[in-house]
């Protein structure tokens, strides 16, 4: 199984996972031209994409889903609430055609080619939001982004992960001393906003399975209120204190916001 991050942050989120026979996209918040160019630069074929998974309806995760799905007849899998949210999103000029909509439910496993996928709820200021447990070739990848607060479902998903993509959005001190207006600071820190470096670090240290975890990718870092080095060092310190060995046991990487990262064999 291979993993590529094509963008991770409020300027556009998009992840690609494939096996020998199946490719899936998770979110597509990049412009369609940017996505096609990056995809071509990797030497990948759009024909191998058999499905698009959507975490939630915000534009930085959904901008080009309609154009890509409609042009190449790619099914779009997400909850009914997220489909409805995308239809109502005034910033999405091209909507997903009804023939390509696939309704999923939390905790009900479904298949796309070689992938077995289970969605679970994630708290954010939109409706029907999804984290994903993705299984293929005997491996388990978990994606959790745009987390307002930690839930039991999130803890359980993390405990299953061999490969984990998880939000580490902001450093609290940077946010509080930064230029954002107070209402936006409250939204980010609130129970349906985002998760801080410290919260992510504690979540992982308490819930990762030492016998399973191999890769951690910190995603959706704030450009104004975080740095890749700070996000990584905060999580590294918490994991090291819990006895994880980042030199030999696992890889910990902060994903870049605006540039691709990968191809990573997992």
List the chain domain ranges.
2-265
Q: What is the DSSP letter of 139?
A: E
* Inter-residue contact 6 to 260 (CB < 8 Å): yes
263, pLDDT greater than 90? no
Are the C-beta atoms of residues 170 and 148 closer than 8 Å to each other? no
Report, as an integer, the average pLDDT of 106-126.
97
Report the pLDDT averaged over residues 66-72.
Answer: 97
Q: What is residue 30's DSSP assignment? A: S
What is the reported pTM? 0.96
CB atoms within 10 A of CB 21: 10
Residue 45: is its pLDDT beyond 90? no
- Helix or strand holding residue 118 (H, E): strand 115-121
Distance CA 265, CA 220 (A): 21
Nearest-angstrom CA–CA distance, 52 and 29: 12
- pLDDT at position 228: 97
Beta bridge partners of 183: none
Tracing tokens 């494939």 back to the chain, one arrives at 18
Give me the pLDDT at residue 167, please. Answer: 98
- Is the pLDDT higher at 265 or at 15? 15
The CA distance from 108 to 119, in Å, is 7
73 Ramachandran zone, left/alpha/beta (phi>0; psi -120 to 50): left
d(CA 12, CA 147): 17
Quick: pLDDT tens for 159-201. 999 999 999 999 999 999 999 999 999 999 999 999 999 999 9
Identify the three-state secondary structure at position 164: strand
CATH fold of 2-265:
Metallo-beta-lactamase; Chain A (3.60.15)
């Amino acid at each position: 199984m291979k993993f590529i991050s094509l963008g991770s942050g409020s300027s556009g989120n998009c992840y690609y996972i494939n096996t020998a026979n199946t490719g899936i996209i998770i979110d597509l918040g990049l412009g369609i031209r940017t996505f096609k160019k990056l995809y071509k630069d990797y030497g990948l074929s759009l024909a191998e994409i058999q499905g698009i998974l959507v975490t939630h309806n915000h534009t930085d995760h959904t901008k080009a889903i309609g154009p890509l799905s409609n042009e190449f007849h790619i099914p779009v899998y997400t909850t009914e609430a997220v489909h409805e949210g995308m239809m109502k999103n005034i910033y999405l000029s091209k909507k997903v055609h009804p023939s390509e909509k696939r309704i999923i439910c939390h905790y009900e496993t479904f298949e796309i080619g070689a992938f077995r996928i289970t969605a679970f709820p994630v708290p954010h200021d939109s409706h029907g939001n999804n984290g994903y447990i993705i299984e293929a070739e005997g491996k388990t990848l978990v994606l959790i982004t745009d987390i307002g607060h930690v839930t039991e479902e999130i803890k359980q998903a993390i405990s299953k992960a061999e490969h984990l993509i998880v939000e580490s959005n902001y450093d609290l001190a940077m946010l509080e001393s930064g230029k954002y207006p107070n209402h936006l600071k409250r939204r980010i820190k609130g129970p349906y906003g985002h998760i801080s470096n410290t919260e992510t670090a504690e979540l992982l240290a308490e819930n990762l399975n030492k016998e399973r975890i191999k890769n951690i990718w910190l995603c959706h870092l704030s450009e104004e209120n975080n740095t890749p080095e700070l996000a990584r060092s905060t999580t590294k310190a918490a994991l090291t204190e819990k006895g994880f060995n980042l030199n030999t046991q696992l890889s910990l990487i902060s994903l870049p916001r605006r540039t691709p990262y990968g191809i990573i064999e997992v």
